[in-house]
Amino acid sequence: MRKVRVVVLAGDGIGPEVIEQATRAVDTVAPEAGLDITWQPELMGGCSIDAHGTALTDAVLDTCRSADAVLLGAVGGPKWDTTDPNAPRPEEGLLGLRAGLELFANLRPVKPLEALYDASPLRRERITGTDLLVVRELTGGIYFGKRGRTGDTAFDTCTYSRDEIARLAEVGFRAAAGRRGRVTSVDKANVLESSRLWREVVMEVATGFPEVTLNHMLVDNAAMQLCSRPAEFDVIITENMFGDILSDEAAMISGSIGLLPSASLGAGSNGLYEPVHGSAPDIAGRGWANPMATVLSAAMMLRHSLDAADAADRLEAAVERTLADGARGRDLGGEMGSAEIGDRLVAALG
């Protein structure tokens, strides 16, 4: 058996509920994959603010650096909402984790399942055949630029370097080479200088992938096209803020944000895996949360960080089979809670 250590950051709200079912599902497939997994729980987010006064301590960050992977539930909630720029916020822990682990590429796959086509806000004929991947830059751009206020004026600076753009583009092109061979690079090059550099560097990277077709698209047009013809996209690469917005839009194609996983990767094998949904404080503690997005995030962890692609395939197939058999959480108009969905998934894995 191969021993691996995964740091578990259950976080806030429904985070602990979905994490419980995800680790349970992984433990079901781990032995056959030859994995002996140690789950190491740590605090990050609002719970860490309550305990330590900061969303991410240096000790937890060091623990994450030395682990084989990090599995995250969700962070945030109204308890910690504030407009005080000096007050700690749960989201700072997530940004600090991405920067501290040098995780520069966020992968969000969107592939609606046939059993849920009618749950999508888009018509069935629009989403049929959709299988896209959003590759979002994570550690640059406006979220990490200089910011401040002077009197009645506020500013946020969007800055990108050539190297930051190139390494993200390479992730996207490599992914497309193993898929359908199409990259759509999203920018705002008609207005923003940072986007003009983005487009220039992406075209340079494209020369190293002659088998991949590159298309450029302005972000406003991309937002429209994701609603009107999502099946035409293969891999979308884009900067931090644009990716944040577009990936949430794309998530709704599946019918529920409770079904979308994500992976944040860097140069090494250590990665951060988390569901796209938030902490949902309005239902926290009720056992209603759908754990499937977290289970699918754990599948991405098995594939990208733990070298267990067959186990990842099993988890993904179990989610699809469970949905096809009629399992529905409240996010999909059903009545099943976290534990019952977890039971169904484990049964499907048997």
Can you give the pLDDT at residue 191? 97
Known catalytic residue at 160? no
Does 167 or 259 have the greater pLDDT score?
167
pLDDT at 76: 96
Active site (annotated) includes residue 220: yes
Question: How many beta carbons lie within 10 A of that of residue 117, not counting itself?
Answer: 18
Which neighbouring-strand residues pair with 72? 9
Buried-state track 118-138, b at ≥16 Cβ within 10 A, e below 16: ebbebeeebbeebebbbbbbb
Rounded to whole angstroms, the Cα distance separating 179 from 235 reads: 8
Please state, in angstroms and rounded to a whole number, the distance separating the CA atoms of residues 328 and 189.
42
Q: Does the annotation mark 313 as catalytic? A: no
Three-class SS state of 28: helix
Q: Do the Cβ atoms of 240 and 98 come closer than 8 Å?
A: no
Q: pLDDT category, 269, cuts 50, 70, 90?
A: confident
Q: Which of 36, 62, 81, 220 is catalytic?
A: 220
Average of per-residue pLDDT values in the chain: 95
Q: CA-CA distances (angstroms) from residue 194 to 102, 146, 218, 232, 296? A: 21, 15, 13, 26, 34
Please identify which of the residues 244, 307, 313, 343 carries the catalytic annotation. Answer: 244
Structural domains of the chain in order of their starting residue, each with its CATH number: 1-103+257-350 (3.40.718.10), 121-254 (3.40.718.10)
185 vs 236: CA distance, rounded Å: 6
Please tell me the distance from the alpha carbon of residue 180 to that of residue 196, in angstroms, as a whole number.
26
pLDDT number for residue 233: 98
Selected catalytic residue, list 143, 160, 187, 331: 143
Catalytic site includes residue 152: no
Tokens describing residue 347: 């049964």
For residue range 188-224, list pLDDT tens digits in order.
999 999 999 999 999 999 999 999 999 999 999 999 9
SS3 50: helix
Q: Provide the pLDDT confidence category of residue 285 given band limits of 50, 70 and 90.
A: very high
Closest CA to 21 of 275, 247, 264, 271: 275
- Angle (nearest 5°) at CA 119 between 113 and 123: 90
Which residue out of 117, 187, 188, 331 is catalytically annotated? Answer: 188
Q: What is the pLDDT of residues 310-345, one digit of tens each?
A: 999 999 999 999 999 999 988 888 999 999 999 999
36 classed as catalytic: no
Report the alpha-carbon distance of residue 212 to residue 206 in Å, rounded. Answer: 8
Determine the pLDDT at residue 181: 98
3-class secondary structure, 101: coil
Task: Report d(CA 12, CA 78) in Å as an integer.
Answer: 11
